[in-house]
Structure 1
């Protein structure tokens, strides 16, 4: 587990590389979709953090309602707070989320609520990385070490960030969850497309003391780990579309590029 190539930055805590074992587990082949989340909301009446707060963070090129912009995010002016942006309206209140795309504008709290309803849970960070690697130890990506420029294997940014996306991979924002080839374990888009919440609290120092057996992260923290990068990743800004890459956000935060996938509570016998 960890960055074997020196690609990350120290503040992300991707090193040292360390051995980890995890018990067998069953994980979703895709991120949770808009259709999945819609069924949850229909069954429970759940309101997400974004809906309760009245706004969420939308990438500037994805805004559909410029008159609903409340302001820029500090330090990242390409992120705009948009009133009425939520899981069903990812660009603003006039937009509509496509059912086969990953659900976004969901916080860690929202993901936990979905898991409780579905009888599932968020993966640990170690489980997530094990699944994303697809059996390819120490490789950068789910398919190997190189990113072909003429054969797009994931949904990331092309062009000059943050103003011009050529959409060479066909997508400016999210792609349907089964776009591009799956890894050797059958998982789609573990890197790129959307960041995925995992269970663990974040600490950049945790890998130095992490246990070998089934690590579950620090006991306490201020932010939860997100993994996999998103459609906004670009080497000039954020090269976190890698198996080892990690970042974090506060549990009540929501943006247009964060989703999640789930793990079974236990593996059924037989």
Structure 2
């Protein structure tokens, strides 16, 4: 798997030497009806901020906080669910990138012991390559999404997310828009609910409890994803902007710094066309991946997909 993915603690970037095969053309007798928005929440334009003056992982480019000016926009209250993505696939005849590659990255803890694993990322052995894994069978052949239609769809690449967003007349949010919705206009807030730290007993969101990656106590009730509308929303009405699934944004991954590290990291990001994701996932834990904070960030190549990668949709006002 070393030639297939580049491992990180949070997810894995696909490192394919060849692009996926083109999707087969779909012939239809009637025009495809556009999809419907799902509870978009209006956020007025004006001054906001992105990043933090107290970065926990400075090398990720979390700080310093900087002022930004936003146009008014709408953002959906929840991540796009399996049910909605299935409707999109049925309407458009869409074939996801993971299907066209023929495999995707799966968190090993979700697999039965006899699973057919085709390698892993040496630095992160909990990520394994599973042939046939894609959004509808996210753990590979024999799995399905019938019991999680209201959960966020996963195994989604950037192109998959953009295609769905276009179908409903929207787009992906920028990092600044995503953070504006998450912090509700409160400068310096660490988490979407405030500054209280979650731990293995104090539950605010769907992250890992216990010793990662060997034992999850599931104190929050979930081994993997939770329903898109689980846990309490923040003051703005947004659900699960911490944990559950990483969410694609419209931005490339860049670090705003003049340091030698930033210049090297940005050059690598440009070469790989890495894109920015926000929010953390059900695999985050303070002991190794403290990225369920608002300012936290992650990079993936745009054709990547994994057990903990989804998205939500924004709209111009």
TM superposition score normalised by structure 2: 0.77
Higher mean C-alpha deviation, range 221-230 or range 88-97: 88-97
Distance change >3 Å, CA 153–CA 21, structure 1 → 2: same
Distance change >3 Å, CA 206–CA 116, structure 1 → 2: farther
Matched, 1:177 2:225: no
Distance change >3 Å, CA 141–CA 207, structure 1 → 2: farther
Q: Gaps spanning 5+ residues in structure 1: where?
A: 209-217
Match of 1:154 among 200, 205, 210: 205
Counterpart in the other structure of 2:111 = 63
The structure number with the bigger radius of gyration is 2
Distance change >3 Å, CA 69–CA 148, structure 1 → 2: closer
Q: Gaps spanning 5+ residues in structure 2: where?
A: 1-49, 260-266
CA distance in 1, matches of 2:226, 2:125: 24
CA distance in 1, matches of 2:286, 2:202: 17
CA distance in 2, matches of 1:258, 1:33: 12
CA distance in 2, matches of 1:91, 1:119: 30
Matched, 1:203 2:203: no
Distance change >3 Å, CA 207–CA 186, structure 1 → 2: farther
- Cα drift, residue 163 of structure 1: 0.7
Q: Secondary structure of 2:84's match?
A: helix
Matched, 1:15 2:66: no
- Cα drift, residue 73 of structure 1: 2.1
Structure-to-structure mapping, 1:79-98, within 5 angstroms? 79-97=127-145, 98=148
Structure-to-structure mapping, 1:1-270, within 5 angstroms? 1-10=50-59, 12-64=60-112, 66-97=114-145, 98-149=148-199, 150-205=201-256, 221=270, 222-264=273-315, 266-267=316-317
RMSD: 1.9
Would you say how many aligned residue pairs link Structure 1 and Structure 2?
256
CA distance in 1, matches of 2:124, 2:77: 32
